Amino acid sequence: MHEPGESPGPNAATAAIASGESTLEPMTADERVAWALETLPGNHVVSSSFGAQAAVMLHLMQRHKPGIPVVLIDTGYLFAETYRFIDRLTEQLDLNLKVFSAGVSAAWQEARHGRRWEQGLEGVEAYNQENKVGPMQQALDTLEVGTWFAGIRRSQASTRRDRSLIEAQGSRFKVHPIADWSDRDVHRYLVRHDLPYHPLWHQGYVSIGDVHTTKTIHEAASSEATRFNGLRRECGLHEMNFGQAG
């Protein structure tokens, strides 16, 4: 396609997606990561919410590119168990953790706007934009990211059912190496490599985000309703315009 580290123009990016999807589809996750690292432009990063099955993607990327920056968006409202899980995996996997947050503290935001997650869909979306989408865009720009790896899977939600293995906007690429994995695939990987689930997984938390908008599967009508009081499934990170000028 082009030399690693170079940023392709819009036409090259379109061509890369057209050929990349068919190239990646028959590959294993390991092969997809290796191909992307070799073929797509740097800098490379992997994002993680340190959710229920986060150890899979982190371990996979660390095996292929030790020291790859791991981008965490910290809203200030993660579960205490999540912060401890972050510390545990950072030490266990020797992660190069890069934490990004909104420019205004959680307490100050509440003073200004109240509890936006209790203010309907409009409030939830405004909260997510300031605390998740904005900081992620800052991370991509600050780290001058050319290729962003993420561990989203098609089986996680209807909103992810049609996600491609590779996407592009402008001259920036996004790769989902385990997009076609099932829960069984994830479990097998965790067992094979002696990796932990998030500690809240065993309490019925199948999708873990902020403490104020995450419910157990026992409290919600479906797995998709465990987040944001059922108003929406996605926080916006994987729907955002992640591109840069070509």
Whether residue 241 lies inside any domain: the answer is no
The set of residues, in sequence order, having a beta carbon less than 8 Å from that of 22 and lying 6+ positions away, is none
What is the average per-residue pLDDT within 78-96?
A: 97
SS3 per-residue string spanning 98-161: EEECCCCCHHHHHHHHCCHHHCHHHHHHHHHHHHHHHHHHHHHHHCCCCEEECCCCHHHCHHHC
The set of residues, in sequence order, having a beta carbon less than 8 Å from that of 61 and lying 6+ positions away, is 33, 46, 68, 70, 149
The set of residues, in sequence order, having a beta carbon less than 8 Å from that of 221 and lying 6+ positions away, is 230
Task: Give the residue numbers marked as catalytic.
Answer: 235
Contact 174, 242 (CB under 8 A): yes
Strands laid side by side in the 44-47 sheet? 96-100, 69-73, 44-47, 147-149, 172-175, 166-169
Between residues 218 and 114, which one has the greater pLDDT? 114
Whether residue 235 lies inside any domain: the answer is no
Contact 171, 9 (CB under 8 A): yes
Whether residue 41 lies inside any domain: the answer is yes
Between residues 153 and 161, which one has the greater pLDDT? 153
Whether residue 5 lies inside any domain: the answer is no
What is the average per-residue pLDDT within 183-193?
A: 96
Q: How many CB atoms lie within 10 A of CB 30?
A: 12
pLDDT 10s digits, 211-241: 998 888 877 666 666 666 665 555 567 665 7
Q: In whole angstroms, give the CA distance from residue 27 to residue 188.
A: 18
Domain carrying residue 75: 10-230
Return the closest-CA partner of residue 68 out of 175, 208, 156: 175
Whether residue 73 lies inside any domain: the answer is yes
225 φ/ψ angles, rounded to the nearest 5 degrees: -85, 5
Average pLDDT, the chain: 87
Return the closest-CA partner of residue 198 out of 49, 46, 45: 49
Distances (CA, A) of 72 to 165, 194, 238, 243: 21, 23, 14, 19
Whether residue 26 lies inside any domain: the answer is yes
Give the domain CATH number at 153.
3.40.50.620
Output the pLDDT for position 245. 46
Whether residue 4 lies inside any domain: the answer is no
Q: Is the pLDDT of residue 160 over 70?
A: no
Sign of CA dihedral 81, 83, 88, 89: positive
Q: In whole angstroms, give the CA distance from residue 12 to residue 142.
A: 24
What is the tally of structural domains in the chain? 1
pTM for the whole structure: 0.86
What is the average per-residue pLDDT within 71-89?
A: 97
Q: Looking at the DSSP assignment, which residues form a beta bridge with residue 73?
A: 100
Whether residue 239 lies inside any domain: the answer is no
| Cα 130 from chain centroid (whole Å) | 17
